[in-house]
Amino acid sequence: MHYEGNVIRPPSEWNSIILQVTVGCSHNKCTFCGAYKDVDFRIKDEETVSADIGFAAAHCQRQKRVFLADGDVLILSQQRLIQILQGIRQHLPWVTQVTLYGNAKAILSKTTAQLQELKHFGLSRVYMGLESGNDHVLDTIRKGADSAKMIRAAAHVRGAGLFLSVTVLLGIGGTEGSADHARDTGLVISRMQPNQIAALTLMVMENTPLWHAIRNGSFTLPDPAGMLAELQTMVEHINVERSQFHANHASNYLEISCRLPRDKDRILREINVAQQGGKQLRPEHMRRL
């Protein structure tokens, strides 16, 4: 496979064929994200992508899912996306799911009919980074969308019948904005009604503006107790009809994987036990991005 630079995938795509169809992220402004800081966004040429599909056809016959990398592949033109999806369907007929990252801008750049068309050609899931439901935090981290736009984008994905997975980031409000971030994120998630919620815990990379904010004292990362308090507040404020909730990424201090609303009370009890010291947290040296 012709991989270039950092190829990032969602945790749940650990066993997927990673087909890199763009390099970098067209937004590339989020202050906490160092994944593509030195990379100019570029769409990979058709020959390279076709060659990689050919490689997967020969060597990846046990993998049933394809993740289209990098950062926001939904920004590609409709024609190019359909061409890629058709190539996957033709050459990797055993693949049952094709997924990608889409930010609010990219999602809202498609009509409902276009999203439905992508579903028809095999797209099954969109991963969307909300990070926070608090507008001040979203503005500060330069996410490129406010909470109202995030909610509209979520409705657009779900309205097209696609599976929506939303990522939130514990700690991104800093100590100062911690409580507001946690509460508003829970409330916005409730309005987005995603099929899946993934909570990660902020780990700051040295090549990011956020790193410099920590160095100059304008941002303070919550400690593990603060992160647990955020998780607790967030879960308390999430009211969804039916979602998977995962906080089992290697960055998290406390591993949680459950269904909401079914397991809400149990999870809140588990967080409480951890807060009282009755449950082991992941040690700092074992946390990973």
Q: List contacts with ligand SF4 (CB under 6 A).
A: 25, 27-28, 30, 33, 35, 71-72, 103, 129
Q: How far is the CB of 160 from ligand SF4 (least distance, A)?
A: 21
Q: How far is the CB of 208 from ligand SF4 (least distance, A)?
A: 10
Q: Whose Cβ is closer to ligand SF4: residue 17's or residue 25's?
A: 25
* Count of Cβ atoms closer than 10 Å to residue 164 Cβ: 24
Q: Whose Cβ is closer to ligand SF4: residue 3's or residue 94's?
A: 3
- Whats the size of the chain, residue-wise? 289
Q: Whose Cβ is closer to ligand SF4: residue 69's or residue 182's?
A: 69
SS3 call for 64: coil
Q: How far is the CB of 65 from ligand SF4 (least distance, A)?
A: 20
Q: Whose Cβ is closer to ligand SF4: residue 27's or residue 181's?
A: 27
Strand partners, 246: 198, 257
Q: Whose Cβ is closer to ligand SF4: residue 30's or residue 271's?
A: 30
Sign of CA dihedral 142, 145, 147, 151: negative
Q: How far is the CB of 99 from ligand SF4 (least distance, A)?
A: 15
Helix axis angle for 178-192 and 147-159, nearest 10°, is 30
Q: Whose Cβ is closer to ligand SF4: residue 129's or residue 171's?
A: 129
Q: How far is the CB of 246 from ligand SF4 (least distance, A)?
A: 18
Q: How far apart are CA 225 and CA 275, in angstroms?
A: 7
Q: Whose Cβ is closer to ligand SF4: residue 143's or residue 246's?
A: 143
Q: How far is the CB of 38 from ligand SF4 (least distance, A)?
A: 12
Q: How far apart are CA 48 and CA 53, in angstroms?
A: 9
Q: Whose Cβ is closer to ligand SF4: residue 31's or residue 252's?
A: 31
DSSP states of 200-243: EE----TTSHHHHHHHTTS-----HHHHHHHHHHHHHH---SSE
Alpha helices in the chain (DSSP H): 46-59, 78-91, 104-108, 112-120, 135-140, 147-159, 178-192, 209-215, 224-237, 264-275
* Count of Cβ atoms closer than 10 Å to residue 195 Cβ: 18
Q: What is the dihedral of CA 104, 109, 110, 111, to 10 degrees?
A: 110
Q: How far is the CB of 133 from ligand SF4 (least distance, A)?
A: 16
Q: How far is the CB of 18 from ligand SF4 (least distance, A)?
A: 15
Q: How far apart are CA 212 and CA 31, in angstroms?
A: 10
